[in-house]
Amino acid sequence: MALNPVEATAECGQLKVAGIILAGGASSRMGGHDKTLLRLGDELLVERAIRRLASQVCTVAVNSNSGTSELPAFNVPVIADRWPERRGPLAGVLAGMIWARAQGCSHIVTVAGDTPFFPENLVSELVSTMTRTVASLVLAASGDGKDMRRHPTFGIWDCRLASDLARSLEDGQRKIVAWSDRHSTEVARFRTDGVDPFFNVNTPEQLRLARQLLLELEL
């Protein structure tokens, strides 16, 4: 797959949004192998995430701590966390913010690289909620009422929060929700009819299920 990030363009209202694929985890339940390099149908998980996100944003990068030599050449930037030790997805969010600002973007939308069916209207719904509520960040959610579940690795983030996030990470903060709840945060709800769009692949069993869903539902 050859994708030039400058060709990944989409209208995001008045916001210039970069897409960041979070692939910096340890993949411990997959034996430590980078699960985003696992194959689903004709694509690797990371390849599918790039394609699915690129049509929704202005530019795309992958956050990975595996080293660029372990990622196939997709012609998209690979950005690492600023710390050598793993500090969780918030460190990937910060890396994405810093990179996006250098590209002239005001916001980032993050997606998890192990979630192959995330909504194709993800960015438009996040931007719509942010514009309507004037929130600093919006996280994706599914379900209603007591059954509502937030998916904190899927969200839109104002890059002006980078300095505060950097300080919080230095102070030991690792949980997205704990940090995001300190700010003006809203949720954008997504339907879960049929397949859960936020189903993620953490184990070999979940990979087998994802392959079955792909064949049965042609997602």
Q: In the prediction, which pLDDT does 31 show? A: 56
**148 CB contacts (<8 Å, ≥6 apart)?**
141, 142, 187, 189
Instruction: Output Rg (C-alpha) for the chain, integer angstroms.
Output: 16
Domain residue limits at 113: 5-217
What distance in Å separates the CA atoms of residue 34 and residue 49, rounded to the nearest whole number?
A: 14
Q: What is the pLDDT of residue 2?
A: 38
Residues of the chain with confidence (pLDDT) below 70:
1-13, 24-33, 67-71, 73, 219
**How many domains are there within the chain?**
1
Phi, psi (5° rounding) for residue 161? -80, 0
Partner residues linked to 204 by β-bridges:
none
pLDDT in tens, 22-77: 996 655 556 566 788 899 999 999 999 999 999 999 999 999 987 655 667 678 99
The pLDDT score that the predictor gives to residue 9 is 44
**Residue 219: helix, strand or coil by DSSP?**
coil
CATH code where residue 136 lies: 3.90.550.10
At which residue do the structure tokens 């909504």 appear? 119
Quick: pLDDT tens for 27-39.
Answer: 555 656 678 889 9
